Each structure stands twice: as structure tokens, then as C-alpha cells.
Amino acid sequence: MLKIAHRGAKGYEPENTLKSFRKALDLKADGIELDVHLSSDGHIIVIHDETIDRTTNGKGIVNTFSLAELKSFLIDGEYQIPTLTEVFDLVDKKCLINIELKGLGTASKVVALIEEYVLNKNWNYENFIVSSFDWNLLQETSNLNSNILIGVLTEEVLDKALAFAELIKAHAIHPDYQLLNSENVKQMQEKNFLVLPWTVDEEEDIQKIKSYNVDGIISDFPDRL
């Protein structure tokens, strides 16, 4: 069962920072999950929200700032917002990277960056899973490069996610863990999809979800898995 660290090891370090991804590696996570938006000059930025207000000392919408401007804001007074390239280089194939597409325009940029690492840096497509709640972005990703592994994110009825996963030949389904039971997990797995629920943090929930034989769990505390 894959232990995937949510926004890095968010339970221990500031989310989506190099420090949190380093912590996830220290905790021997099998994968990290992160969120991406674009800067105004087209760089892929690792941050959860559309704005920088909650996580940095600045205010404003991520895609209205250039990379240089975004780098001037600090998280917890210390850390810069990372680019996706910086995270790839830190991880250096040591674990799976689950890239959640959040912002407009992210699909084509992320596909291009994955292709660069696969073609020029000896990485494999299996080193990445691209997920999103925005299924149009997943369709775009799959149209651009059908080798890229896709995870269909859902917090609503599973039937729709399953149908869409079949349509685009996804690799995995990433459901809100509260939607799961042993029957529907089995149903997804029988169709050859990995089941990777989020965000499971409490011991009791971890035990329950594990009893459904899921393929992995996304958690703020990967060491609890």
C-alpha cells in the first residue's frame, strides 16, 4: 500500500514547501502529493490556493505575479514558494510525485515538464501521477500524452468518476475517503484502477480505510500509515 504525503508532510512542516517534501522523504513516504498553479510568466508554481494570502506574507492572486515576484513572498517567514522543477530535482526519483492540477493552463505546462524529465533526465512516466478535480484538465493531459498516468479526483458520487476514468483510461481514482466502502473499492479495482483516497489522518480512519484494501492513502502524516 502506497504511503503518499499530502502537500508534503503537511502534518509536520508548512504545506507545499521544499522542507515539507524533504520531511516526506525522511519519513520514507512512497509518494508526495502537491498542487500547482501558473505564474503570470508561465512557470509552474507549487501552491494549493488560487491566492497567496493564506500561506505567505503577501496578498493577491498567484497567476497575477511573475516567478520573481512570487519568490519574494515568504511562508512562515522563512520558506519560498517552490516551482515544480525545484520539487522534481529535490525528489530525484526517490518517490512517486502526484501533481494535482489546480490552475488554468497547468495541463500543457506539466505535460511538457514531465516529458522533459522522461526524455532528457532518465525519469519514467511511472514516477508521476497527474490528478485533478477539473476533469477537463485531465482530458487535456491525456490528449497531449497518453503515457502520463492519470488519477481522477472526486469528492462526489463514485459512479461518475469511474465512468470518466474508463473513458480516459486513467490509472487511478482518488476519492474522498468518506465515499468508500469495501464493495466500491473492489468495484474500482476490478476495473483495474488503483484506489488512492485522501486525506486520511486519524488512526481510526486509517485502520478502517486500510481494511478496504485500498492501493494507497494520501495523508498529512505518512508515517501513521
- Active-site annotation, residues: 6, 48
Query: Residue from 35, 63, 111, 161 that binds ligand G3P (CB under 6 A)?
Result: 35
| Residue 103 CB contacts under 8 Å (≥ 6 apart), including other chains | 36, 37, 38, 50, 62, 63
Min separation Cβ 35 and Ca ion, Å: 4
Min separation Cβ 66 and ligand G3P, Å: 24
In whole angstroms, give the CA distance from residue 80 to residue 77. Answer: 9
Return the C-alpha cell found at 120.
532528457
Residues 57-96, one symbol each (x = binds Ca ion by CB under 5 A, - = not), give ----------------------------------------
Which partner from the list ligand G3P, Ca ion, none does 37 bind, CB cut-off 5 to 8 Å by kind?
none
Query: Residue from 21, 79, 117, 198 that binds ligand G3P (CB under 6 A)?
Result: 198
Residues 60-99, one symbol each (x = binds ligand G3P by CB under 6 A, - = not), give ----------------------------------------
Does position 201 bind Ca ion by CB under 5 A? no
If DSSP codes are grouped into helix, strand and coil, which group holds residue 132? strand
Beta-sheet strands, E only, within 30-132: 31-38, 44-46, 96-101, 128-132
By C-beta, is 34 or 113 nearer to ligand G3P?
34
In whole angstroms, give the CA distance from residue 110 to residue 161. Answer: 22
Could you count the other beta carbons within 10 Å of the beta carbon of residue 42?
11
Distances (CA, A) of 183 to 157, 160, 179, 180, 187: 14, 16, 11, 8, 6
Please name every residue paired with 6 in a beta bridge, in sequence order, or none if there are none. 33
Phi, psi (rounded to 5 degrees) for 78: -135, -40
Min separation Cβ 94 and ligand G3P, Å: 20
- Residue 82 per-residue DSSP state: P
Min separation Cβ 170 and ligand G3P, Å: 14
Residues 152-191, one symbol each (x = binds ligand G3P by CB under 6 A, - = not), give -x--------------------x-----------------
36 touches 106 (CB < 8 A): yes
Residues 114-133, one symbol each (x = binds ligand G3P by CB under 6 A, - = not), give -----------------x--
If DSSP codes are grouped into helix, strand and coil, which group holds residue 65? coil
Total residues at interface with ligand G3P (CB under 6 A): 11
Binding residues for ligand G3P, rule: CB under 6 A, are: 6, 33, 35, 48, 100, 131, 153, 174, 198-199, 218
